[in-house]
Amino acid sequence: MPPVRLPKNANHSKAKKGTLFRLIKMLFKNYKWQIILALICIILVSISNFTSSIFVKNITNTVNAIVEDKVLNNKEPNFAPLIQLLIIMGSIYFVGMIASFTFNYTLGITTQKFLNTIRKEMFGHMETLPIKYFDTHAHGDIMSIYTNDTDTIRQLVSQSLPSLFQTFFTLIALLSIMLYYSIWLSLVVLFGSLFMIFCTKTIGGKSAKFFVKQQKALGVVEGTIEESINGLKVIKVFCHEDKSIQDFDKLNNHLCEVATVGNINGNIVGPIIGNIGNILYVLIAVIGGLFIMFPNNLHNINIFGQITPKRELIGIILSFLMMARMFSNNINTLSQQVTFIVMGMAGASRIFELLDEQSEVDDGYVTLVNIKYKEDGSFEESNERTRYFAWKHPHKESGTITYTELKGDIVLDKVDFGYVPEKIVLTDVSIYARPGQKIALVGATGAGKTTITNLINRFYDIADGKIRYDGININKIRKSDLRRSLGIVLQDTNLFSGTVMDNIRYGRLDATDEEVFEAAKIANAYDFITRLPQGFNTMLSGDGANLSQGQRQLLSIARAAVADAPVMILDEATSSIDTRTEKLVQKGTDRLMKGRTVFVIAHRLSTVMNSDAIMVLEHGKIIERGSHDDLIKQKGKYYQLYTGAFELE
């Protein structure tokens, strides 16, 4: 279990400026017409909601007029205006219902498509990132971006932003209507609303800050869970269950702490705003009643200076009560959505941080092409796979193109490298691998063996020196072509969900079934594969959890074999295989390495004895080099390792 990590900058967690604007811009770029339709529907729904208060006034006044005509003037009641109002009101509600259905249907589909687009962009961009990014970011935290942070975007796009737009539109419309009816009652509502907004800002601001911290803490917790699952055997072997639980509890308690504070502040905003709205409702009812009991022209004036007739005051007061309730409810809705908007912005900020990560720089222009030989021994470029390759080198100055036959001549000339500039891990490393040679790298853990192969792959760029491939500086070679020319068997075997056939074919996607079978035979994996329940069609999942470690490594070797690359890198290729299986694999790898330049990293010195040259590394420097016999004669470090044990610790 790794050391407990609390979220970085936990006290300064906030979304970056411009995040919301960027998200909206991205949304409109992909789904402009759907969003416009949704906004129109929101406006129609809002109109159907707040017009009810207007109709209450008109219906009240119409009913009063009918009663006055019947009681005071003894006239026959005329119900036509009342029926007309009810028909109009019903029609508006019907339009609002259709608009609400259209809005929810459209936005539901659009939101899911938008999330689909975001995930595709994140994954596509993630595939272009350098290895260094994954070395410096917890994998569980990256997964949290795809799950938790993306879900906050769903909440933001499907609910919070539409609610925010509808609330603002409704508040402006209500305020306009209230000012038209009565300035004084409008001022009462405004003062009450300002107090609501103050409470929302004061309390809601605290909750928003802690919800942002919650997102970061959640990523750390998920990262810890992933690490614990991957290292469960190690935890159990060393009886660290209790320690793991304690470490997890510490992280989980931190998550609980920030989430609790955020939720407490977020949850109490609603009741506070609701009670203020109730008080405001009662206050308007009391003041409105006083206006009716003690009529005064000053009470009845509106924003245009017009005086409302006394007979309409009852309808206006009833209408105002409804509008005040609606106004306070919308502010309450706004206060609740502020928290979700901030959470969504925090999630969007983390997503954009991933999307803004610098992609792996590739300024190479030399490409790898297939060639075919002519009868006179010369060659020419071919569009067919021929198993023969050349480097296609365009020269900008002269405008010409030259071809260099790929032979596998790799030279590291006085190479210095450090994962960080202030700490150099390789110093003055020079290696000369001629075509067809087998070069072995041996040394203690951390000596720099795997780092050298990472530099040949250009997973990292060197600080000083040169690396040449067939005389060409590898900085000039396009990375995808460079890596396509290298077959690699890593110490850590990674298998993917799919069949055994799919996993071997991963080395070269256009490989035929026969080529896959041949690669399995080369790696001596064919026999055990055919004994599996469905043979080559056996499904693998969970990184090949249903296979032994040795079987997984054999598939990795078969995958490199089907790639048929001219240069091979075997990084502890037999570290997870027993001695008996190793002998079988050794025969296969000998066939695989025939005619190829090979770099071998091994702890078992028995596997490198037949190498053309052996490099002994210590603290990032080559301290000895030569064949097995030469190094034995020197009686140096290699001799001590060889005579002491065949296992290099």
Q: How many structural domains comprise the chain?
A: 3
Q: Is 111 a member of any domain?
A: yes
Domain check: are 569 and 600 in the same one? yes
Q: DSSP letters along 191-255, please? A: HHHHHHHHHHHHHHHHHHHHHHHHHHHHHHHHHHHHHHHHTHHHHHHTT-HHHHHHHHHHHHHHH
Domain check: are 346 and 388 in the same one? no
Q: Is the pLDDT reported for residue 9 higher than 60?
A: no
Alpha carbons 101 and 93: distance in angstroms, whole number = 12
Length of the chain: 649
Domain check: are 387 and 304 in the same one? no
Average pLDDT, the chain: 80
Domain check: are 289 and 229 in the same one? yes
Q: Is the pLDDT reported for residue 157 higher than 60?
A: yes
Domain check: are 182 and 327 in the same one? yes
Percent of the chain with pLDDT over 90: 13
Q: At what angle are helices 313-356 and 183-230 packed, to 10 degrees?
A: 30
Alpha carbons 643 and 626: distance in angstroms, whole number = 17
Q: What is the mean pLDDT of residues 331-337?
A: 76
Q: For residue 570, what is the enclosing H or E element?
A: strand 567-571
Q: pLDDT tens digits for 434-455?
A: 988 889 898 877 788 888 988 9
Domain check: are 418 and 401 in the same one? no
Domain check: are 383 and 277 in the same one? no
Q: What is the mean pLDDT of residues 404-417?
A: 91
CATH number, position 293:
1.20.1560.10
Q: Is 486 a member of any domain?
A: yes
Asked if residues 317 and 183 have their Cβ atoms less than 8 Å apart, the reply is no
Q: Which residues, including other chains, have CB under 8 Å from residue 29's CB and lie 6 or more apart?
A: none
Q: Is 12 a member of any domain?
A: no
Q: Is 177 a member of any domain?
A: yes
Q: What is the mean pLDDT of residues 587-612?
A: 78
Q: pLDDT tens digits for 198-207?
A: 776 676 666 6
Give the DSSP letter of residue 617.
E
Q: Is 161 a member of any domain?
A: yes
Q: pLDDT tens digits for 213-265?
A: 776 777 777 777 777 776 665 676 666 777 778 888 888 888 888 777 777 76
List Cα–Cα distances, 175 to 170, 182, 349, in angstroms: 8, 10, 34
Label residue 649 by pLDDT band (50, 70, 90). very low
Q: Which residues, including other chains, have CB under 8 Å from residue 343's CB and lie 6 or more apart?
A: 152, 155, 156, 208, 211, 212, 214, 215
pLDDT of the residue at 379 = 87
Higher pLDDT, 584 or 117: 117
- pTM surpassing 0.75? no
List Cα–Cα distances, 245 to 44, 229, 235, in angstroms: 54, 13, 11
pLDDT of the residue at 203 = 66
Domain check: are 339 and 467 in the same one? no
Q: What is the mean pLDDT of residues 97-116?
A: 90
Domain assignment of residue 613, given as a range: 410-644
Q: Is 216 a member of any domain?
A: yes
pLDDT of the residue at 12 = 38
> 32 is written with which tokens?
């402009």
CATH number, position 507:
3.40.50.300
Q: Is 100 a member of any domain?
A: yes
Domain check: are 58 and 204 in the same one? yes
Q: Is the pLDDT reported for residue 304 higher than 80?
A: no
List Cα–Cα distances, 376 to 56, 379, 386, 387, 618, in angstroms: 99, 9, 17, 19, 48
Low-confidence winner among 26-30, 211-215, 302-306, 513-517 (lowest mean pLDDT): 302-306
Q: pLDDT tens digits for 171-182?
A: 888 888 877 777
Q: What is the mean pLDDT of residues 13-34?
A: 81
